[in-house]
Amino acid sequence: MRGIHLSVFYYRLKQKHGGKKAAVAVARKMLVIIYHLLKNGIVYDEKKYEIPKQRQELNQFKRLTSNAKKLGYSLVPIETVSLVV
């Protein structure tokens, strides 16, 4: 179940703060989600978190591209790279 939003959140926090703090943070996040679901009478939808995930990946790509340019590298798409064997 590594693809769902909460597990991605857990593993990201686990790397930074350790497993125990990450578990508590995920439990809190789950409680907040459950509270809002019950309060508003809606159904949990995992697809709601896909758009922020795509935005996060795009921002990460832009940041890595910028860092590569600062270091003097130019990025080339994989499709155009020809490997000489």
Residue-level pLDDT at 84: 61
pLDDT in tens, 1-13: 666 788 888 998 9
Domain ranges of the chain: 5-75
Could you read off the pLDDT of 16-62 as tens digits, one per residue?
A: 999 999 999 999 999 999 999 999 999 988 877 777 777 888 889 99
CA distances from 68 to 26, 58, 65, 77, 80 (A): 33, 15, 5, 14, 18
Indicate the pTM of the whole model. 0.58
